[in-house]
Structure 1
Amino acid sequence: MKVLCWNANGSVFEHWKKVVPSEASLVQTQGYEETLNRLEHDSFDYCFVYLDNDAFSEKVELVVQIREHYPNVKMVAFPYLRSQSAGVRMLSMGVNAQCSPYIAKEQLGLVLSVVDSGEIWGGKELIQQLIQNSSQNTAAHSDVLSFEGSELLSERELAVADKVAKGLSNKEIARHLDVTERTIKAHLTAIFKKLQIKDRLSLALLVQRG
């Protein structure tokens, strides 16, 4: 596992060296052009990007540019500032994960496992915002849901899937359907298993595509 670490200051880079998997090899770069050059002429599995508060918004856009130029490299953003809008911007443009620069070893292992499986890591709030943004950009749903695998679901499961695709939280869905949150979680577990998907973002996109 080879990781390009861009813009990491000394303490962040030292922390990353302690928490990455033992087989990982880390290469550090500082500037944007140097990072592009390394990605162009070498092969990396991951690109870790530390976003400090200096010109934060500009760095977010540079991350998006790198994502566009090198779609095969898994990108993990480590912002110093907690910004939901920046997180949604990066994840919606294909960045694979966002987490704290000083993430614990066990948590980073979980993040990398999720990303390796093809899923996005960003926390519940960011994922919910992504779904809501996607829902707003999609044509209004019809009363009869029709999407790949919809025939496998019960009427109640279809209702849950529809609410998820419209950006509702479990609590909101439970209120709409007059059931408990635990019941909604059970429905989602069954839906994920039947459709062979892993999370609500995948479900929302599947439903929205029709």
Structure 2
Amino acid sequence: MKILCLNTDDAVWKHWCQTVDTDANLVRTLTMPDLYRAVENAPSSFRYCFVYLEDEGFSQQVEEVVALRSVFSQLKIIVFPNQSSQSAALRLFSAGISGQCAPYIGKEQLSLVLSVVDSGEIWGGKAFIQKLIQQSAVTAPSFESELEDLSERELTVAQLIAKGLTNKQIAIEMNITERTVKAHLTSVFKKTNTKDRLSLALLAQSRHTML
């Protein structure tokens, strides 16, 4: 059993190596581009993909995992965030990841997680995800009104952000320059009172759900 890993923390990596079953082969990558190359070179070789989310650049890493999931939909991705974030969990589960665990998860619990994921279920369960969605709705009830002031192009940018696309990918999709994408994003952040791509993506996802 081969498990592709993105892990930049040596202590967490050592723990993973000691926690997985003896028949597991962990393949470590240190950057997202390296992980992409590993999947592209052997698309059917990896049974799971473990991604450690460190504190620095946390929101950006969440969006990178969303993009990874959109490109490689067959990957069973399990994230191991180093911080607790309700919005990040909602974003990741909405994008279709298979589970979320603590970085220093125990051996027996990890075995249970993988068993659940193997069965086609999501670690955390549907009730957990529904609770996240309900809590998000309570903390941000005015999603629809916050998007009403966006122009058609700005709304398109927000929707593509929700799909996990990068600025470059959005530029290609909309046939505009990356500079124009950034200008649209600056305007969108201001009009929607969002501060980053993660909060904007949740906003756009909520609108899509209500339509």
Q: Give the alignment's TM-score, normalised by structure 2.
A: 0.60
Q: Which residue of 1 aligns with 2:15?
A: 15
2:121 is the counterpart of 1:108? no
Question: How many residues end up aligned between the 2 structures?
Answer: 136
The alpha carbon displacement at 1:71 in A equals 1.1
Structure exhibiting the larger radius of gyration computed from Cα positions: 1
For residues 131-180 of structure 1, give each alpha carbon's deviation from its aligned partner in whole angstroms, at most 9, with x where no partner exists.
Answer: 648999xxxxxxxxxxxxxxxxxxxxxxxxxxxxxxxxxxxxxxxxxxxx
Runs of 4+ in structure 1 off by over 4 angstroms are 133-136
The alpha carbon displacement at 1:9 in A equals 1.1
Partners of 2:6 and 2:28 within 8 A in 1: yes
The alpha carbon displacement at 1:16 in A equals 0.5
2:5 is the counterpart of 1:5? yes
Which of 86, 89, 100 is residue 87 of structure 1 equivalent to?
89
Partners of 1:6 and 1:48 within 8 A in 2: yes
Partners of 2:86 and 2:132 within 8 A in 1: no
Which of 61, 71, 78 is residue 80 of structure 2 equivalent to?
78
Distance 2:38 2:63 in 1: 19
Structure with greater contact order relative to length (CA < 8 Å, sep ≥ 6)? 2
Compared CA separation, residues 134 and 115, structure 1 to 2 (3 A)? farther
Partners of 2:7 and 2:52 within 8 A in 1: yes
Distance 1:9 1:114 in 2: 26
Percent of aligned pairs with the same residue?
Answer: 51
Compared CA separation, residues 117 and 124, structure 1 to 2 (3 A)? closer
Q: Which runs of 5+ in 2 are unaligned?
A: 139-211
Distance 1:92 1:81 in 2: 19
For residues 88-138 of structure 1, give each alpha carbon's deviation from its aligned partner in whole angstroms, at most 9, with x where no partner exists.
Answer: 1101111000010000000001100110000111378742335648999xx
Q: Give the alignment's TM-score, normalised by structure 1.
A: 0.60
2:48 is the counterpart of 1:59? no
Compared CA separation, residues 78 and 111, structure 1 to 2 (3 A)? same
RMSD: 2.3
Give the residue type in structure 2 aligned to 1:56.
F
The alpha carbon displacement at 1:5 in A equals 0.8
